[in-house]
Structure 1
């Protein structure tokens, strides 16, 4: 018998999410499975399956737990400054562990798994796009951006450019990249 009391509820969930990220960072998404997480956490597989129906659901919850960057844009009345601040604030989270390597692995796996791809879009990408779109629409309503233009696609381009750099290139998302992206956006849509 162990001296440590059995962990249940929120504490157990937190522990499983932490162990999932640690395991994923070591073996990658393709090598990740419920058995490995259960073994490392010292629990039975049923403990995991009671909380998460699939490995993807578990990993996405784990990523959500460590994604601590606030996705709410500041609204200072200067759309360029607000976009810049948000992009530079969230860039380090996608570039460094634990999120960076695990997120890249999930993106890769999602290309061959439609359900994972849909879940990833619903849980992460859609949230980022909607948050960006809401902020630029407020700027449009305030007269900072041209009126009468649908900003849905520009919001996708703003977010997509940064994700492309993080996930598919070796170039950094730094001040130079963010400034160049915002210069293009403001040249096209600024008033």
Structure 2
């Protein structure tokens, strides 16, 4: 088919095609510079008046979390005595602590190693009076009501530390008895670990 044989649209059809072209052209025309500027102004939020206060609140919260985290990491030094000192206790409290140490010394059933116990307890202030209390407790051989009295007096940490020092912690029976004391006095695992590190033989 040659070009001459193609149908030529009539005037009304041609007007329709031109109107459609103008309509499509107006829909796809690029936005003007003014329209782009107005769109950018709408999409960019204005700074809030309370922005400085919000920034300060975020900073304070962040610092508070860091301080709390540091305190939790070092709570053993905060909550436990830096050193166990029998001299800081009154006579009744000292006796309770030494009775617990005596129960640990006697726990393995092979006879007490009083030389080890005396030397170790001297590190926390035990003198002649305390050595005699230890021997009297060993002779009595009873713990009836002892652990309840220690717990009521808030001396679980001191008592566990004294028992820890008074025995050979390499002995398996002693290890189990120390674990029993820790559970009996409801000492946290991290507190027990802190005492073991502090009084490493």
TM-score range, shorter chain: under 0.3
Larger radius of gyration: 2
TM-score normalised to the size of structure 1?
0.25
TM-score normalised to the size of structure 2?
0.24
